[in-house]
Amino acid sequence: MIGGVFIYNHKGEVLISRVYRDDIGRNAVDAFRVNVIHARQQSRFPVVNIARTSFFYTKRSNIWLCAVAKQNINAAMVFEFLNKMIDIMQSYFGKISEENIKNNFVLIYELLDEILDFGYPQNSDTGVLKSFITQQGVRPITREEQTNVTSAVTGQIGWRREGIKYRRNELFLDVIESVNLLMSQQGQVLSTHVAGRVVMKSYLSGMPECKFGINDKITVDNRTKNPLDSTNINNNSTTNGSTNPSTTTGTTTTTKTAIAIDDCQFHQCVKLSKFESEHSISFIPPDGEFELMRYRTTKDISLPFRVIPLVREIGRTKMEVKVVVKSNFKPTLIGQKIEIRIPTPSNTCDVQLLCMKGKAKYKSSDNAIVWKMKRMGGMKESQLSAEIELLPNDKKKWNRPPISMNFEVPFAPSGFKVRYLKVFEHKLNYSDSDTVKWVRYIGKSGLYETRS
Amino acid sequence: MRNMRGDAMRGLAVFISDIRNCKSREAELRRINKELTNIRQRFRADKTLDGYQKKKYVCKLLFIFLLGHDIDFGYMEAVNLLSSNKYTEKQIGYLFISVIMNSSTEMKQLIIQNIRNDIQSRNPIFINLALQCVANIGDKEMATAFTHEIPRLLTSGDTIDPVKQSAALCLLRLHRTSPESLQLNTEWTARIIHLLNDQHLGVATAAVSLIDALVKRSPDEYKGCVNLAVSRLSRIVTSSYTDFQDYTYYFVPAPWLCVKLLRLLQNYPPPDDPSVRSRLNECLDTILNKAQEPLKSKKVQHSNARNAVLFEAINLIIHMDCESSLLVRACNQLGQFLQNRETNLRYLALESMCLLATSEFSHEAVKKHQETVINALKSERDVSVRQRAVDLLYAMCDRSNAEDIVQEMLTYLETADYTIREEMVLKIAILSEKYAVDYKWYLDIMLKLIRIAGDFVSEEVWYRVIQVVVNRSDVQSYAAKIAFEALQAPACHENMIKVAGYILGEYGNLIALDLRSTPMIQFDLLHSKYHLCSPTTRSLLLSTYMKFINLFPEIKQHIQDVLRHDSNYRSSDVEIQQRAIEYLRLSEICSPTVLATVLEIMPPYPEKQSPLLVRLKQKKPLMEAENNSEPSVTTTTTHTEDVPKFAETAIHLNQQQQQQQQQNGLLVSFDTIESNTHFGESTSYSLPSTITTTETTIQSSKKFLFKNSDIIFENDLLQIGIKGEATKHILRVEFYYGNKTNFNLTNISTNITLLDELESELRLNLEPIKPTIDPKAQIKQSGTIECLQEFRDLPKINFSFL
């Protein structure tokens, strides 16, 4: 199990050091600094083994987070924990920075005491943590509150406390996908996959039980056999904002075919036994925001943009680059925050740029041309041409790194659809139709690259 | 404008401080990329830059390079800076090219041309910059390019002293890196030597270093330097320290020059000219006298400088090795140092004394300090000093004090540092053998040594003990007696068991009459240790037991039981198993007379250089020359092979066609009884010639006891060779078929037949061969033979061709 957690600043100074087990000594702190932070060669591995001690680390802005273990522990679990810890800290004090960590170190130690016990991860739900680790000073706690906290921490449903009441029962669903692509010069897809997340924000009274339906291939196939279910969420989400509240029930057009999900995982509130047996996703949601599920698909991905590069080397001192971008989605939709990054050779002296749309700039510090467009409609195309002047250099040949792209589009490139989300609350007597539900789809770029 | 920015290079300062302020590696990389693009823009061919700007950007590039990034441009600009007339610009240019040397030849020619211009210029500062650069780069091309310029600078009358100094050192550097490409005119020789007499001490110091290197290259050419060096030395030594203002270091006049001159003189034998010689002796005398004077300063630098000169003088005295008075004085001086509080001094004193001990003049003088040295051995805290003390004791040992010294070393061995134990053991062994008057004393010491040092006794040491015992018949019974006694100790080191086992096996009969050591008692005592030993010792002990069968027939039954025991007869160790089986058979089959011949006492070893000295030299490659003048007592052969040979003779005399396993595994004997060779040109006639070679069978099968490859069959037409390599029970074989005729041999087929039982005992796996052999050519067939069981018969090869 995790023997200790350290947080370093960019210089390798220790900001937070919490040791959970005796097998981790003080020298482990220095070993990591010497071998990773101050290493001559930048370490490219997320796990480093020094003197039979494993160091699992991630870096956020200039801060290093490192978990240490002497035993052979589940690395995926450790990284899950580290990411969770970052989430918790962000929800408590915003951005992770050296200053914020220094200002909140008492809080961080308190959190670390709570979320790890003798190295074993404990309840790390932000909502629950916030109910008893507060940022205000000590205030008298009533007996009732105290029992609430106890039952929340020790009870069966640790992620939700009882007695929550809202005047308006409302819930938001965000489907956030990131598309990864590697395309050859000729436009052949070399590899592609989508990593998606469903994030839910719930403001529901009592202890509601929810049922969530998606257009997963297996569920859809099941459903065609017993068509008893009715969907009640409108499927066509149009703009990048929220969809209309889905007050209309019934009439659903089974759009598109179902998608094949390669693998998925759920928040702890989802009843896995029911998922195994009936393939239905049912759960009692935590209050507030949480990540309901994560999934990954590799088939039938609709790529929102296509980059067509054209590189021509003229002699030893000149190079011409032409890049065409085509958007490949419904004309009614608009893509946003588009940024295309075109690497330039290391012996570039000067770059002349010409683009039809947006703004392009040569960033010498990154050795790249950065072309930014605020928005771009569907089925459009735009072009940039650049003239690069080079200093003659016979030593190295330029190996042409791929052109990468960033964007945001208001649909799910994998074809993921939310079919329904039903809410049942037996005690408080509000029905499914009384809750207001919002669905939003966001497609983002992951590593979206085209070889030039 | 120019005056305003001056030489400050603000841009560089800003850049460096930017980099220092970077929060992360990535930020630093971004800043550098930005700057590199900027510099590239500036350096573009169509832009013109003034010297200041070039200097600034070249500096930035240099800084980026020193941060560990690759620089692939800017060389041209740096070379341009070389031709600038401003000192700072030139300096930066030189700095850049000596740090980032481009290997491209065109650039190099340009650089060399620039350097040449500077060397030929009249400005001494520029010349020095150029010389520094040449010395920093100092490669072959530089050496060839400036092989004339630099000596000319060095010897010409109108170069100023600092330039001469640099030129001498630059030349030295070129000489060190590529002596072959540096051609020095003989006409320079005299002038270079005369630099020793230069007014300027700095020039003289630089010149001595150069001359020292040149002397090593061609001693005869520079012989003239001896006189000059002696006179220079005497001038320094006899003058007072106030005469050399700048070159006096803590009241010692020019210590570096002195040391270098003394070193230079060590390249030559003592001067022949009596006047020079007496002058040199005077100098050395003065140096020794000065060492007696009270210290002029309490500072450690003063004593260090003075002692440096003194030790170098002593080294010279030892090197000359002719003035007994000086040697004795040096020895006394060193004796004083032995008690000094400085550990370094004690170390150096012991080291120099080691050398002194080898000289015939001072040997006696050194011996006076024996007590002190032994004390040092006991009380010294520093291990390296103790090591030196051991060396010195070893060097000063002779017949008169050998017993004491060996005794002292033995006592010290028990507490000695682990790192020097093995060496000490060797030294004790050598000394006790070399100066042994009474070999009984030698044996006592050696057995004690093995008892004390145990693990640190190397193989050679105990081999040597046995050799001495075998060669000296007068101590054999004594050896048997004390070996037997040593074995009685409850805990015996394995080396002791080996020695005792060997000696008892050879000479156990000499003490058998004593009731305390009857054959049975000897055997029981040895066998009680048997199970605690390693396989090699066990196999040695098995040989001993076999010898016992010969020496004491009455316990034969007993020993056969031991050999027959499963732990030997079926031991997992091949060597032990083989010995047990062979010895058992030998003892069962042979008559006592045959046994007596087979198991005769080992003959004396031929006398050769002691392997111990060889071993000691291996341990210390820089061992002093003394070992070469080693006196006679030594004897030897490679004793290691003794034991296996023993086993082999047994088989040889046995004359039995039993199955044999060699040390490393199985051996298959090949038989070529029926090689049906058909010869003919298909049409005209055929001559079936059946050659039976029964006699080769035996020969060849026996040959393979001793080697892995041989020719098994040969006639006018054909030659068949075999090569085998055995791993455990599998023999990897290669057959070579050679065609000795001038025709192609066609339709070749080979067939190895396994008769009767052999089929279940061997498994063959051979690859097919090509059907033709070209004239005078050879083909190869490889495969494996696996031994499944013991076998007696031999496989047969049928080889046929047209």
Does CATH place domain B709-800 in 2.60.40.1230?
yes
Contact between A349 and B23 using a beta-carbon 8 Å cutoff = no
Predicted pLDDT of residue B656: 32
| B519: closest CA of chain A, how far (Å) | 58
* Residue at B589: amino acid letter: I
- The mean pLDDT of A225-236, rounded to a whole number, is 44
Structure confidence at residue B719 (pLDDT) = 81
Assess A38–B contact: CB distance below 8 Å, yes or no: no
Structure letter (DSSP) for residue B769: -
**Model confidence at A17: pLDDT above 90:** yes
| Predicted local confidence at residue B7, as pLDDT | 62
Same fold, A171-179+187-223+257-297+413-443 and A305-409: yes
Cross-chain residue pair B44–A389, CB shorter than 8 Å: yes
Across the interface, which of A62, A367, A393 has its CB nearest the CB of B23? A62
What is the reported pLDDT for A340?
Answer: 94
Beta carbons of B30 and A396 less than 8 Å apart: no
Substitution target in B29, B36, B47 with the highest count of A β-carbons within 10 Å is: B36
Q: Is A363 annotated as a binding residue?
A: yes
A43 inside 8 A of chain B by CB: no
Per-residue confidence (pLDDT) for residue B519, from 0 to 100: 85
Asked if the model's pLDDT at residue A275 lies above 70, the reply is yes
Residue A259 to residue A299: CA distance in whole angstroms = 8
Give the whole-angstrom CA distance, residue B600 versus residue B598: 6
Q: Which residues of A touch B69 (CB under 8 A)?
A: none
- Bridge-partner residues for B461, per DSSP? none
pLDDT, tens digit, for every residue of A393-424? 766 678 889 999 999 999 999 999 998 899 98
Please provide the average confidence, as pLDDT, over all residues in chain A: 84
Residue of A nearest to B73 (CA): A393
**Per-residue confidence (pLDDT) for residue B192, from 0 to 100:** 86
Sequence spans of domains, chain A: 4-130, 171-179+187-223+257-297+413-443, 305-409
Residue of A nearest to B29 (CA): A365
Q: How far apart are CA B36 and CA A342, in angstroms?
A: 18
Cα atoms in the Cβ-side hemisphere of radius 13 Å centred on A32: 33
* H or E segment to which residue B349 belongs: helix B343-357
Report CB contact under 8 Å: B40, A366. Answer: no
A348 touches chain B (CB under 8 A): yes
Instruction: Look up the ipTM and state it.
Output: 0.72
CA distances in angstroms from B660 to B582, B598, B705, B790, listed in the order given = 9, 18, 8, 9
Which residue of A62, A348, A396 is in closest CB contact with B37?
Answer: A348
Mean pLDDT calculated for residue range A313-326: 89
A349 with B44: Cβ contact below 8 A: yes
**Cα angle value B316/B319/B321 (rounded, 5°):** 110
Partner-chain residue, chosen from A364, A389, A393, that has the shortest CB–CB distance to B72? A393
Q: What is the mean pLDDT of each run of 10 residues along chain B (802 residues)?
A: 58 91 85 90 77 88 89 83 87 88 73 89 89 86 84 83 90 87 77 85 90 87 87 85 76 89 90 87 88 84 89 89 83 84 87 83 80 82 84 85 85 81 85 83 87 82 86 85 86 86 87 83 87 87 87 85 85 87 86 82 74 70 39 35 37 34 35 36 36 42 65 78 77 81 77 74 78 80 79 74 72
Look at residue B105 in the predicted model and tell me its pLDDT: 65
Q: Which fold has domain A171-179+187-223+257-297+413-443?
A: Immunoglobulin-like (2.60.40)
Taking Cα atoms as reference points, which of B667, B657, B670, B659 lies closest to residue B752? B670
Size of interface A-B (CB pairs under 8 A): 40
Which helix (H) or strand (E) segment holds residue A281: the answer is strand A281-283
Let me know how long chain B is. Answer: 802
Determine the CATH number of domain A305-409. Answer: 2.60.40.1170
Q: E strands within A12-159?
A: 14-19, 47-50, 53-60, 63-69, 116-117, 120-121
CA-based nearest residue in chain B for residue A38: B25
CB A61 within 8 A of CB A86: no
Least confident window among A11-20, A207-216, B388-397, B750-759: B750-759
Cα B544 from Cα B499, distance rounded (Å): 11
Q: What's the token pair of residue A291?
A: 């990540």
A374 is in an annotated binding site: yes
Residue among B25, B40, B72 whose CB faces A395 most closely: B72
Cβ <8 Å between B33 and A350: no
Query: How far B364 CA sits from the closest chain A CA (Å)?
Result: 57
Q: ∠A435-A219-A301 over CA atoms, to 5°?
A: 95
pLDDT, position B64: 92
Which one of A346, A365, A391 has the shortest CB-CB distance to B43? A391
Q: Do A364 and B37 touch (CB under 8 A)?
A: yes
pLDDT value at position A441? 94
Domain A4-130 has CATH 3.20.20.70: no
Q: Regarding beta strands A170-183 and A436-450, do their DSSP bridges make them parallel or antiparallel, or are they unpaired?
A: parallel
Q: Which residues of B touch A62 (CB under 8 A)?
A: 23-24
Q: Tokens standing for B661?
A: 């396993």
Name the least confident of A107-111, A192-196, A334-338, B568-572. B568-572
Most confident of A104-118, A219-233, A416-430, B591-605: A104-118
Asked if A277 has any chain B CB less than 8 Å from its own CB, the reply is no
Closest CA to B328 of B284, B283, B293, B278: B284
Give the class (CATH, top level) of B105-222. mainly alpha
The model carries a pTM of 0.62
Whether residue B158 contacts residue B192, with contact meaning beta carbons closer than 8 Å, is answered with no
d(CA B3, CA B479): 96
The distance of B97 to chain A (nearest Cα, Å) reads 18
Which residues of A fall within a CB distance of 8 Å from B40?
347-349, 391
A240 has pLDDT over 60 = no
What residues in B contact A42, CB-CB < 8 Å?
Answer: 25
Residues found in chain A = 452
What distance in Å separates the CA atoms of residue A392 and residue B36, rounded to the nearest whole number? 14
d(CA B331, CA B333): 5
How many whole angstroms separate alpha carbon A321 and alpha carbon A36? 39
Res B102: pLDDT? 61
| Nearest residue to B269 via CA among B340, B347, B321 | B321
Going by C-alpha positions, the residue among B582, B605, B542, B789 that lies closest to residue B705 is: B582
Cβ neighbors of A138 (< 8 A, separation 6 or more) are: none
Banded pLDDT at A66 (limits 50, 70, 90): very high
Interface test with A, best of B28, B37, B41 (most A CBs within 10 A): B37
CB contact under 8 Å between A349 and B40, yes or no, is: yes
Mutual angle of helices B556-564 and B574-589, in 10-degree steps: 140
* Alpha-carbon span B681 to B719, nearest angstrom: 20
Residue-by-residue DSSP string for B361-398:
TTHHHHHTTHHHHHHHHHH---HHHHHHHHHHHHHH--
**Single-letter amino acid code for the residue at A314:** I
List Cα–Cα distances, B540 to B442, B543, B660, in angstroms. Answer: 24, 5, 20
Report which of B797, B770, B662 is spatially closest to residue B725, judged by C-alpha positions.
B662
Predicted local distance difference test score (pLDDT) of residue B676: 37
Residues in chain A within 8 Å Cβ distance of B44:
349-350, 389, 391
Is the distance from CB of B181 to CB of B144 less than 8 angstroms? yes
Ligand-binding annotation for A201, yes or no, is: no
Sheet harboring B778-787: ordered strands across? B709-714, B718-727, B730-739, B778-787, B762-766
Higher-confidence position of A201 and B247: A201
